[in-house]
Amino acid sequence: MIEYINKIKEISERLLKEGIVDIIIGFRKGTMPMMNEPCFAKSPEDIKNLVWDSNCGINLANYLTNYSADRKEKIGIIAKGCDSRNIVNHIIENKIKRDQLFIIGVPCKGMVDRRKIVSIFEREIKEVTEEKNKIIVKSDGFEKILKKAEVLQENCAICIHRNPVVYDELVADLVEEQKDVDRYEDVRRIEAMPVEKKYKLFDDLLSACIRCYACRNACPLCYCPTCFVDESRPQWVGKSINPVDIRTFHFLRAFHCAGRCTDCGACESACPMDIKVRTFTKKLEKDCFELYGWEAGMSLDERPPLDTYKFDYPD
Amino acid sequence: MSDWEPKIVTFLCNWCSYGAADLAGISRMQYPPNIRVIRIPCTGRMSPKFILTAFRQGADGVWVSGCHPGDCHYIEGNYYARRKFALFKRFAEHMGIEPDRLHFSWISSAEGTRFAEVANEVVRAVKKTGPASGYLKAA
Amino acid sequence: MNLGYTMKVVRIDKKNWVGDIENLSRSYRLFGPVKDDNFHRFEELDKDKLPDLDYFNTRLSPKSIVYPQSETMFEYCLDERKKDHHVMKEASKDYSQRAVIGIRPCDAAAFLLVKRNFDTPECKDPYWVKAYEATTFVGLACNNPHSACFCTTAGCGPFHEDGLDILLIDAGNHYFAKIITSKGENLLKAAGWDTKVDAGKEIESMKQNAETGITSFIATNKLKDKITADLFDAPFWEDMAFACINCGTCTYACPTCWCFDIQDEVHGCSGTRMRNWDSCMYPLFTLHGSGYNPRNTGMQRVRQRFMHKLKYYVDKYDNGIQCVGCGRCVSLCPVNIDIRKICNTMNSYEK
């Protein structure tokens, strides 16, 4: 994917120069291995700093709403498959207008899971580079080459919409979509458990939660001016690290994403405690698909499942 | 456990099921006293927050009842509610709330008998499942 | 508290370590690093459980040993039939002697920074002070710092002693224990460590070696002379804060962040008043009762966090920055906001 960057820079430069957009939202190189920092570019100087590689897992669609209250300028945004689906979400939820955006589409080959890579090595990783399908990990005195396919983020490994859904210009030819992917193997495994076991599973899963809200804040779907956890009259959920409060928070956060989640994995990649928060949202995603044949963010012309109904749907 | 009685928080649509409960009462029909009624303007007003709050405060079951499809006072509120509830129920099961604790029904204001019947059914189902503790915020 | 005389060093044979910890557990509640999947965390050690000192550092700081994320302050009863109803009663807590084994010098030094807030002549936070005073800190020097560690330029260091009562130095088959305070002396007796050695030179060379292992630096020398308003209005904040998603990861992981929020929780007739960590990253942190929020945007909140750590604190206490260089916020931040970069930008900013 690193080969995309020249094209990204070229398009970005042209867009800014021709005044088609006022700002480009993309990534710049981070200060830690396997980390990139979302950034904006307004000048040719900024464009030089843009990067694109397998560490761009943060969903940039998030940056369209967090600050967009007064963001009236034309925005150029770099979007991989999931980002573009979240842009579609924003458009159909009237958060932003399609014509305010210039979408630079990136056919994605998956992002790497830095936790997975860190866990392979005993020692501290000092530098990580990539070449085609290889990830090269370096530390003091050792170097190891990993196959990218083996260290993909879990959501990327089962992704079936790698190509952007909406875009104004592509940085490369569309990639072949993965076929015959079993997206819900893990959900089915949980579904088969008795209720007590499910309860226990989530208890263990959430035991590390520190309620930093990184999962919520990394999610492009979470843009409410006041989140339910911050509401005080009535107060829906306590503020402590009481397990019931933590569970309530995750339950409601996930349900709020019902029919909207694109499984971009930003929540999971943001979690500082490595909690597999997608375990919640994936169940909803599966149900929306099974009940309503719905995949979020695939079309600008369809309403999301909880915003529409059919008369004859059996209850 | 034999003398344990479940608490069931019941959200009734103002325009139909609430009237049905009234009718059942006026008609002196028998149904268990385990249900605590909260009147809502429409089942479309139901938020998942209400349901979880009920469980957090000690409910053992939640029952939501509204107008028959096509009869919504607000034309379509119950259609939205139907979808929301279907998804909610599945998700709640995923998150450790037994399906027998959650009930959804359509009861018009003329159906006092049906109200009493469903109330009986709901109480029976929740009773069978036992006390809920998973989302109870203890003192 | 510092003993003031030439520091005593004892040698602890690793062969006897298990027995020594057992000795300690008789008179102290012990806390130490424990491995948990890919990370370590501090927890209270059950009997027979050893601190895992073969570690780099814990994912979250050990501040919660003294200052838990959620802490009950008072309990009360609203049932008028009961005695003492509507009376706030202090929650009972265990302030018996405890010891943290294997805390890193940066984290121990952080307690001293936090102390400036919780323990002042005018105002003492009873919970924090009692817990802190009950704690003996047994540090573990960092022989192999990581690349995100920048302690040496944050007023700290891999063999830093301030805030510690004992400093352990891993020297292969044995530890050297440098006794720093009288609290440390007491713990030494309880553990039965009494093999005095003269290892000053050896420790000094290990220390220098470790310090050269620190490869990341910040510049803080000019922060004090900057005009607050200049930094506050500086144009770089928009760029620096853009990526921030305003989660609380940095503040919760930080050993020096001390903010909390007080909440009452009432269930039926019984209530508790508790305090929970709060974070300046959240909009609710500054939301007024009127609905007005003086720090309504993410950028304002990011600016507050760094201005507090790197300017307001510096000016108020005249004792360095409010950061010990542990590097947790740098490595845990989901979007790679880096305090080193921001600090250097602030330090070199000219209007």
- pLDDT tens digits along C127-177: 999 999 999 999 999 999 999 999 999 999 999 999 999 999 999 999 999
The answer to whether residue B102 neighbours chain A at the CB level (below 8 Å) is no
Rounded (10°) CA dihedral B80, B83, B89, B90: -150
User: Rounded distance, CA A99 to CA C77, Å?
Assistant: 59
Q: Tell me what percent of chain C is helix, strand and coil, each rounded to the nearest 5.
A: 35, 20, 45
On whether residue A189 sits in a domain, the answer given is: yes
B39 in helix, strand or coil? strand
Low-confidence stretches of chain C (pLDDT beneath 70):
1-6
Q: Which domain holds residue A228?
A: 182-315
Q: Is residue B113 part of a domain?
A: no
The tally of domains found in chain B comes to 1
Inspect the interface and report whether the beta carbons of C335 and A238 lie closer than 8 Å: no
Query: Structural domain tally of chain A?
Result: 1
The interface predicted TM-score (ipTM) is 0.94
Cβ A311–B53 below 8 Å, yes or no?
A: no
Determine whether the interchain pair A58/C298 forms a contact, defined as Cβ–Cβ distance below 8 Å. no
Question: What is the reported pLDDT for A66?
Answer: 63
Measured between CA atoms, how close is C86 to chain B, in angstroms?
16
CB-CB under 8 Å, A240 with C265:
yes
Q: Averaged over A157-171, what is the pLDDT? A: 97
End-to-end C-alpha distance for chain A, whole angstroms = 46
B94 falls within a domain: yes
- In the three-class reduction of DSSP (H, G, I as helix; E, B as strand; rest coil), residue A279 is classed as helix
Report in angstroms the alpha-carbon separations of C164 from C42, C158, C184.
16, 12, 8
Measured between CA atoms, the residue of chain B closest to residue C270 is B139
Closest CA to C330 of A37, A222, B25, B61: A37
pLDDT band at residue A68 using 50, 70 and 90 as cut-offs: very low
pLDDT digits over B56-108, tens only? 999 999 999 999 999 999 999 999 999 999 999 999 999 999 999 999 999 99
| CB distance A295 to A289 below 8 Å | yes
Closest approach of chain B CAs to the CA of C266, in angstroms?
A: 7
Chain C residue closest in CA terms to A237: C265
Distance from CA of C268 to the nearest CA of B (A): 7
Chain B hits for C267, CB-CB cut-off 8 Å, are 57, 137-139
> A72-76, A145-149, B123-127, C231-235 — which is least confidently predicted?
A72-76
C38:A239 CB<8 A: no
| B68 reaches A (C-beta below 8 A) | no
**In 10 A of CB C350, how many CB atoms?**
7
Task: Inspect the interface and report whether the beta carbons of C247 and A218 lie closer than 8 Å.
Answer: yes
- Is residue C304 within 8 Å of residue C296, measured between CB atoms? no
Q: Which of B56, B87, B95 sits opposite A202 (nearest CB)?
A: B95
Please give the Cα distance from C257 to C246 (Å, whole number).
15
- Which residues partner with A159 through β-bridges? none
Per-residue pLDDT tens digits for B34-56: 999 999 999 999 999 999 999 99
Give domain status of residue B114, yes or no: no
Q: Which residues of C13-25 are buried (b: 16+ CB within 10 A; e: fewer)?
A: eeeebeebbebbb
- Determine the structural domain holding residue B76 and report its residue range: 8-107+120-129
Q: What is the mean pLDDT of residues A205-222?
A: 96
Ordered DSSP codes for A137-199: EEETTEEEEEEGGGGB-HHHHT-S--S-SS-SEESSPPPPPP-S--TTHHHHHHHTS-HHHHH
Q: What is the mean pLDDT of chain A?
A: 93
> Is A81 part of any domain?
no
Q: Is residue B85 part of a domain?
A: yes
Which residues in chain C are contacts of A67 at CB distance < 8 A?
A: 242, 297-298
Per-residue confidence (pLDDT) for residue A70, from 0 to 100: 55
Q: What is the pLDDT of residue A240?
A: 94
Which of C335, C338, C345 is best to mutate for the A interface (most A CBs within 10 A)?
A: C335
Task: Detail the DSSP E strand segments found in chain C.
Answer: 8-13, 29-36, 39-44, 70-77, 89-90, 98-103, 135-140, 166-171, 174-179, 260-267, 270-277
Copy the structure tokens of residue C39: 């990370």
Q: What pLDDT is stored for residue A123 in this prediction?
A: 86
Residue B136 lies in a domain: no
Identify the CA nearest to C45 among candidates C21, C15, C70, C72.
Answer: C21
Residue A77 falls inside a structural domain? no
Using CA atoms, how far apart are residues B55 and A280, in angstroms rounded to an integer? 19
Quote the pLDDT of residue A208.
Answer: 94
* Domain-located, residue A166: no
- B138/chain C closest Cα distance in angstroms: 7
How many angstroms away from the CA of B56 is the closest CA of chain C?
10
Residue type present at position A193: M
Put simply, the answer to whether A242 touches C276 (Cβ < 8 Å) is: no
In chain C, which residue ranges form alpha helices assigned H by DSSP? 17-27, 105-118, 126-133, 182-191, 200-212, 228-232, 236-241, 249-253, 298-307, 313-317, 328-332, 339-348
Over range A28-32, report the average pLDDT: 96
In a domain, A250, yes or no: yes
pLDDT at residue A262, as a whole number = 96
Handedness of CA C94, C95, C101, C105 (dihedral sign): positive
| Segment A248-291, tens digit of pLDDT | 999 999 999 999 999 999 999 999 999 999 999 999 999 999 99
Task: Give the pair of three-digit tokens for residue B91.
Answer: 């998700």
